[in-house]
Amino acid sequence: MSSPFTTWSSFSLANVLHLAAILIIALILNRLLRVLTKLLVRPAASQSRVAQSREQQTRTLAGVLYSAGSKIVWAVAILTALSEFGINVTPLAALAGLASLALGFGAQNLIRDIITGFYIVMEDQYVVGDTIQVGETLGRVEHVTLRRTVVRDARGALVTISNGDIRTVGNLSRDWSQAFVDIALAPESPVDKTLLALEAAAAELRADPSWSQALVDGPRILGVQSIDRSASTVRLQVRTVPTRQDEVARELRRRIQIEFQKQGIPLSSVQRFEWANLATVPATAPQPGVAGATASSGSTGANAALFAPSKMHDTETQETR
């Protein structure tokens, strides 16, 4: 049986060289890992909040990767160096493997979240300040880590989403946004006059300096989208800078309505008649001098009550789109 003294006395120059080689290799790998992780950092191209946030996220990701990789390098180096002292590392390696396996089973959701968060940052899917849609959640990104994404929705609520639960994400803040504006017209409205009025409203919007900076393309008249007995619908398309499509669409509708009022173009109108309690209206007694009204005819009395203003229970509404 060997004692520590025997082990140290048998320590040769070859063992020292092996330890030195292990140390040098570990230092080189550690330095190389530092250089590779720094390549992940994307310096901010401007002083905007989004650019600064993207740089901070990539720096955080690089720091996490370097920290994890450095720990792995030094752990392997220590296990390799222990064999030079006559210590059997097989039980330690088996114990470490079992511990890693147990940790992996217990924290598999956490590991999945971190891996997904890593790809979100690496692929630049979204950053803080972007408007995204994940499932039924639509809102502005307030915070992003490797484990979770925090979104402020339309109600003002902060919604926390685990990155591992994100399968499909829609980014509404990249390049441009788009909106369609449908105008329902009365069937008797002249189509050519209507199209000219729509073009005038669109041209007025494009010429307005306060709104032209929000436009990317259009507004363009696509044509008649649908037509039926009650209305014909004309569709316009407008592309804007990201997340401004709703306000531009509202302003376009306002200008179209003003232009229609100037030129006297009617919008679609739908009349709806509702007749109530017809079965409970009693038969009307015959009136002198009214031909065709008899007291014994129930159907005749009901028809008389239907057209008698004093016995009519109906509501008439008129809607204008």
Between CA 2 and CA 14 the distance in angstroms is 19
Between CA 126 and CA 148 the distance in angstroms is 13
Beta-strand relationship, 215-227 and 131-134: unpaired
Q: Where are the domains of the chain?
A: 4-106, 126-171, 177-267, 271-320
Give the pLDDT confidence of 240-292 residue by residue, as tens digits.
Answer: 988 888 899 999 999 999 999 888 888 765 544 455 555 544 555 445 444 44
Q: 177-267 adopts what CATH topology? A: Alpha-Beta Plaits (3.30.70)
Most confident among 30-44, 110-124, 174-188, 260-274 (mean pLDDT): 174-188
Between CA 22 and CA 73 the distance in angstroms is 10
Between CA 29 and CA 227 the distance in angstroms is 71
Domain 4-106: give its CATH code. Answer: 1.10.287.1260
Q: What is the mean pLDDT of residues 292-301?
A: 38
Share of the chain above pLDDT 90, in %: 15
Phi and psi torsions of 275, nearest 5°: -105, 125
> Which residues does residue 270 pair with via DSSP β-bridges, in sequence order?
319
Residues 6+ apart with CB under 8 A from 93: 79
The CATH class for the domain spanning 126-171 reads: mainly beta
Between CA 164 and CA 113 the distance in angstroms is 4
Residue scoring higher pLDDT (102 or 198): 198
- Per-residue pLDDT band for 306 (boundaries 50, 70, 90) equals very low
Between CA 248 and CA 179 the distance in angstroms is 9
4-106 and 177-267 share one CATH topology? no
Residue scoring higher pLDDT (209 or 48): 209
Neighbours of 209 (CB within 10 A): 6
Between CA 254 and CA 227 the distance in angstroms is 23
Mean of pLDDT over the chain: 75
Between CA 47 and CA 82 the distance in angstroms is 50
- Per-residue pLDDT band for 175 (boundaries 50, 70, 90) equals confident
